[in-house]
Amino acid sequence: MSNKQIATILAQLGNRTDQQNGSISAPLFLSTTYAHPGLGQSTGYDYIRTKNPTRDILEEGLAQLEAGARAVVTSSGMSAIQLVFSYFSAGSKFLVSRDLYGGSFRFFDDIESKGIASFDYFNEVEDLKEKISEEVDGIFLETPTNPLMNEVSIKEVAQLAKANQALLIVDNTFLTPLRQRPLEEGADIVVHSGTKYLSGHNDILAGVVIAKEAEIGEKLAWLANTTGPTLSAFDSWLFIRSLKTLEVRFNQQEKNAQEIVQTLEKHPAIKKVLYTGVGAMISIFVADQHKIGDFLQALKVFSFAESLGGVESLITYPTTQTHADIPQEVRESYGLTPDLLRISVGIEQVDDLIKDLEQALAVF
Ligand code: PLP
């Protein structure tokens, strides 16, 4: 990371890149193709799938934030995850956090069913120690997990990965580089759903892959050029614009979440609150799962919707939404039961959020 503080790097992203006109806001280059000065010559840009000046600004900023050598931004979090898995050879073996985003599970399940790769799941580090061997090629980790907020030490997992020559991939969507820098703790690759906190306004679908080593980063960029999940120029520009306020948004969301947790923990309609103390994601187990529909209907500020990390507060029902593709018996076996709701806290005035939850919780 440069010697500037994160807020400075974020706010300044793209400034001073337009030498010709001095624009403060990052220039948006929509052109899909670039003229060559002569045969065998290039300005550095040939074709948009390969490289784009606006996307370059975003990728350089994200690599700096996560302390990595190279970032690749893609058209969704899932295409970022798919890009990382395309780095490995067919037949590779992976160990994965048991609790995780349902879409990641669906992807792993699909490639396993086609015989492309094999997956086993672990709950905690002890479990991982028993399962890991030199046959494992990669570990895919969510911490905290979505939606049960399980945490494991990235450092410990990284040591186990290194000892077995496996690559460690961390999905850092929930905490962002503001609160967790997996590459500094020994991970090899970080992925994000850029749709969430990084862009933060529920208006961009994007993904991010950041590699610690330049060699892996270059190979991922080569694969992205080969298969084409690279993010469009306009979305890259909008992503840069949004990223500038990441720290201000995230600090407010986290502050709101911490206050909301205090109310939820005392509420008789809630059996248990899951919150790690950092970030703005909270999960709750409610007293009566049959009243969840009425509760969601009663909300006036929170919206009942999928996704997370945006400035607008959302409540998700993982059982029928984000995690519906994990077979019921599997998800219930590790604690993702139908009485669980997931809350993504936004930047609204916290008293309005608390009042809204209190009036809706009255249905229980
Ligand atoms: N990783 C996590 C932790 C997620 O929550 C999600 C989406 O909800 C994804 C990855 C996939 O990202 P996207 O929806 O941008 O494809």
Looking at the fold, whether 266 and 200 belong to one and the same domain comes out as no
User: Which is the catalytic residue, given 56, 99, 137, 171?
Assistant: 171
Q: Are residues 118 and 264 in the same domain?
A: no
Asked whether residue 221 falls in the same domain as residue 250, the answer is no
pLDDT, one tens digit per residue, over 87-132 is 999 999 999 999 999 999 999 999 999 999 999 999 999 999 999 9
175 part of a folded domain: yes
Number of domains, the chain? 2
Q: Whole-angstrom Cα distance, residue 89 to residue 76?
A: 22
pLDDT tens, residue by residue, 275-303: 999 999 999 999 999 999 999 999 999 99
Catalytic status, residue 275: no
Distance 281 CA to ligand 1 centre (A): 14
pLDDT in tens, 208-245: 999 999 999 999 999 999 999 999 999 999 999 999 99
Nearest atom in ligand 1 to the alpha carbon of residue 104 is 10
- pLDDT tens, 144-180? 999 999 999 999 999 999 999 999 999 999 999 999 9
On whether the pTM is more than 0.85, the answer is yes
CA gap 108, 104 in Å, rounded: 6
pLDDT at 65: 97
Same domain assignment for residues 239 and 263 = no
Q: Dihedrals φ, ψ of 49, to 5°? A: -65, -35
Whether the predicted pLDDT of 1 surpasses 70:
no
Q: Mark whether 288 is an active-site residue.
A: no
For residues 62 and 71, the answer to whether their CB atoms sit within 8 Å is yes
Q: Which residues line ligand 1 (CB under 6 A)?
A: 76-78, 101, 103-104, 142, 146, 171, 173, 193, 195, 205, 207, 322
Domain at 120, CATH number: 3.40.640.10
Q: How far is CA 65 from the centre of its chain?
A: 14
Compute, in angstroms, the gap from residue 189 CA to the centroid of ligand 1: 16
Q: Is the residue at 1 inside a domain?
A: no
Let me know if residue 270 belongs to a domain.
yes
Range of the domain at 139: 6-243
Residue nearest to atom 6 of ligand 1 (CA): 193
pLDDT at residue 2 above 70?
no
Q: pLDDT-based confidence at 3, cuts 50/70/90?
A: confident
pLDDT of residue 4: 86
pLDDT digits (tens, 9 = 90+) for 44-97: 999 999 999 999 999 999 999 999 999 999 999 999 999 999 999 999 999 999
Taking residues 261-265, report their average pLDDT: 97
Asked if residue 55 is part of any domain, the answer here is: yes
Looking from the CA of residue 194, the nearest atom of ligand 1 is 15
Instruction: Find tokens 């694969």 and name the residue.
Output: 223
For the chain, give the longest Cα–Cα distance: 74
Does 212 lie in the same domain as 251? no
Cα 9 to middle of ligand 1, angstroms: 25
**Last residue of one domain, picked from the residues 243, 265, 300:** 243
Catalytic residue among 34, 45, 49, 131: 49
